Chains A and B, each alone.
Chain A
Amino acid sequence: GAGVSQSPSNKVTEKGKDVELRCDPISGHTALYWYRQRLGQGLEFLIYFQGNSAPDKSGLPSDRFSAERTGESVSTLTIQRTQQEDSAVYLCASSLVSGGTGELFFGEGSRLTVL
């Protein structure tokens, strides 16, 4: 597709379950970002990929959160043993190059609800 695609768009899970959120960036975009947005709040940076490497994981809130990227394309954000405070919209963005003007293109997000 032409834009950043995220799936699932909505996920409801029980506390303690693991979830995987997927991001398909725009083809050719080398940089990929994950953000979290809780209800009524701003975007919270989670992790950044340059290619398949994650030079900046500083935003991951706990060791229950992990992410990987393969083929310089698809990325998966995994949350283990979900807690109610993990409920949020998880946004993925990609950009064409690192160091250039680097406009971010966002997906529509994956809304996670932990019961």
Chain B
Amino acid sequence: DAKTTQPPSMDCAEGRAANLPCNHSTISGNEYVYWYRQIHSQGPQYIIHGLKNNETNEMASLIITEDRKSSTLILPHATLRDTAVYYCIVRVVENYGQNFVFGPGTRLSVLP
């Protein structure tokens, strides 16, 4: 089972910031939080990941709470092309390697 919970859907006005929340209350100390998105009929695309500190790249920012039980993905200026399903994933590290368990994600609709 996925270790994350996300709202099933969100709307955002074009040009505004999109803030997508994720709860991962059972996360372990060495488990990373990853965000991917999937635009209709394409394979999922990596966005960003983090462990403890906030992270920023050219696509988005990731804010992780101090207790690491939740995080927020921020798209600073959403465009229509950002309409997609956004997956928050906890990367589970096993003794044989790693696994990524996807939940149902949040369907973000960016509205003109």
Question: Which residues of A are interface residues toward B (Cβ below 8 A)?
Answer: 4, 31, 33, 35, 41-45, 48, 50, 55-56, 91, 93, 95, 98-99, 101-109
Contact = CB atoms under 8 A, between A and B. Distances in A.
Interface residues of B, number: 24
Given A56-B94, A91-B43, A104 B100 contact: yes
A30 to B, nearest CB: 9
Contact of A102 (B36, B98, B104): B98
Interface in B21-66: 32, 34, 36, 42-46, 49
A42 B87 contact: yes
B97 A31 contact: yes
A91 to B, nearest CB: 6
Contact of B98 (A35, A41, A99): A99
B57 to A, nearest CB: 12
B105 A42 contact: yes
Contact of A108 (B42, B85, B102): B42
Given A48-B99, A99-B93, A106 B43 contact: yes
A50 B97 contact: yes
Contacts of B87: 42-43
Given A91-B44, A101-B32, A103-B49, A55 B102 contact: no
A29 B102 CA distance: 21
Please classify the interface of chain A as helix (H, G, I), strand (E, B), loop, or mixed, using the class held by over half of its residues. Answer: strand
Contact of B97 (A98, A101, A107, A108): A98
Interface string B80-112: 000001010001011011111111110000000
A35 B49 contact: no
Given A31-B98, A55-B96, A99-B97, A43 B44 contact: yes
Given A55-B96, A102-B91, A42 B102 contact: yes
A103 B44 CA distance: 11
B99 A103 contact: no
B59 to A, nearest CB: 13
A107 to B, nearest CB: 6
B97 A43 contact: no
